Amino acid sequence: MKTSRYARGLQAAFTGIALLGSVTIARADIKDYKFELVDQAVQAGPDKVITVRLMNTRTGKPVPDAVIFATRLDMAPDGMQEMVTKVTPMPGTEPGTYRFKATLSMAGRWQLSLGAKVQGETGTVENKIVVTAQK
């Protein structure tokens, strides 16, 4: 009698493990995230604000609370990658937006390179966005 109880218990345990093993958790891939510009163009000059939105491309929803750890702003699109300016993070105005203050010393195309960690995901979101500075 005890043997059949143990056998049934083991069978139930193995069935449970098999069922749990067949369940896959739908997780996003780090490639499912991208930064996009809120405004395509800004005025050239000191203390200009560039706003970007981090989007989950699978859901179409903005991603709040990402940790931005790498920023660079240069004129690489116009062949002047040595023309670099300082980028200062600022608080976003709505969930999923990230703002940066920079001095855009001349009109032209500036490349904003960003690196971010998304909570709950492994890997790094890396994007290069072109901002046009107008006179």
Tokens standing for 45?
A: 């000059």
| Spans of all domains in the chain | 30-134
Note the pLDDT tens digit of each residue in 3-36.
555 556 546 555 545 444 433 344 568 999 999 9
Rounded to whole angstroms, how far apart are CA atoms 59 and 96?
13
Note the pLDDT tens digit of each residue in 37-81.
999 889 999 999 999 999 999 999 999 999 999 999 999 999 999
CATH of the structural domain 30-134, one choice from 2.60.40.10, 2.40.50.140, 3.40.50.1000, 2.40.30.10 = 2.60.40.10
Note the pLDDT tens digit of each residue in 78-108.
999 999 999 999 999 999 999 999 999 999 9
Rounded to whole angstroms, how far apart are CA atoms 54 and 92?
11
